Structure 1
């Protein structure tokens, strides 16, 4: 009866990965590849069975461009250029509106003077029909 218990009992053997140590040269080389965009962090971590957290630690340690806590502002210069362009466009539109308003004021004054000269209210009696 004891033999049947041994046969039905499942194995509890754990598959433990061996402890690995990567050289500093290897880490620097792989960080350079990741920084150059040759391989993604996800692909590298799957290929070498290394956690993504470990890869990020290597990047923070060995990459001159990626330090922990560094904030990268993207498109700061282009936003400033865009702001200047928009301000220029606003000024141009305000100038055009000002010119149109001057033309309207001129025409109103011309109608007013003509109405006084002809002794007819041109604004009310003007009929643009055929």
Structure 2
């Protein structure tokens, strides 16, 4: 017992081979630190220490950052939304191109200028009329 009255659990000591195996599992990309923590009942602090100590890729000066599942889901949802918006934008651009071509054909075939010119007089449809 310690001064606060809490009991400390037994301290776990892991072999060098076990630590290396955990780091290899992490580096292979098959498991995240969170998954290894749950599977092997090891604190994530211990796993990160081992990664910094034994990893070929992650050194002390480099901070290891992992996305939680909810963050990855959010990123995937945002990427899907971006794809939807890009597709909608492409369809709108095709509609604009089609309408511009129709305006051009109307001018060529029927000599009708559908686009409003700045010198065209405004229609009187919106003016109020006097009652007699």
Q: TM-score range by the shorter chain?
A: 0.3 to 0.5
Larger of the two Rg values belongs to structure: 1
Bigger helix fraction: 1
TM-score by length of 2: 0.40
